[in-house]
Amino acid sequence: MNFPEKVIKLVSVIPAGRILNYGQVAILLGNPKAARAVGYALAALPAGTEVPWHRVVGKDGKVGKVSLQSSKYIEAEQQRRLESEGIIFDESGYFPLQPYLWQLSHIEVQAILGE
DNA sequence: CTACTGACTGATC
DNA sequence: TGATCAGCCAGTA
């Protein structure tokens, strides 16, 4: 299974109100250093996708931290969607990652990916 | 195969 | 606290 497919599959099953950061997704997929690749996979998603990509954020609970050349509107849109799921941002655009972080084992991930 | 790029991170300054 | 630099991986030319 291609890396992007794994990313999409995992992100697709993130419960509402739950969050995962890029690094975490990379770890769950077996490549702790592949955070950038995760971002690349999400960037390839079509505009009207059903995948809850907004539930994947930067490591400190910050959206649209770096990069974001082609998708300057994503930051505001992502934050808006997260707030609609009950996540509260502070004035700086951050939110506590821990309380929302989706805890799941590598075994569960394998089950999700069907491996 | 090499070079460049990017929804990332962590260390440094 | 905030800006920079340097490694990371996968995809594309």
Q: Where are the alpha helices (DSSP H) in A13-96?
A: 22-28, 35-43, 74-83
CA–CA distance, A109 with A115 (Å, rounded to integer): 9
**C1' of nucleotide C9: residue with nearest CA:** A34
**Has this prediction a pTM greater than 0.85?**
yes
Q: Model confidence over A67-76: pLDDT tens digits?
A: 555 455 677 7
Torsion of CA A9, A72, A80, A13, to 10 degrees: 0
CA–CA distance, A112 with A33 (Å, rounded to integer): 21
Q: Model confidence over A65-101: pLDDT tens digits?
A: 555 554 556 777 888 899 999 999 988 888 999 999 9
Please name every residue paired with A94 in a beta bridge, in sequence order, or none if there are none: A62
Nearest nucleotide to the CA of A30, by C1', is C9
Q: Is the CB of A4 under 7 A from strand C?
A: yes
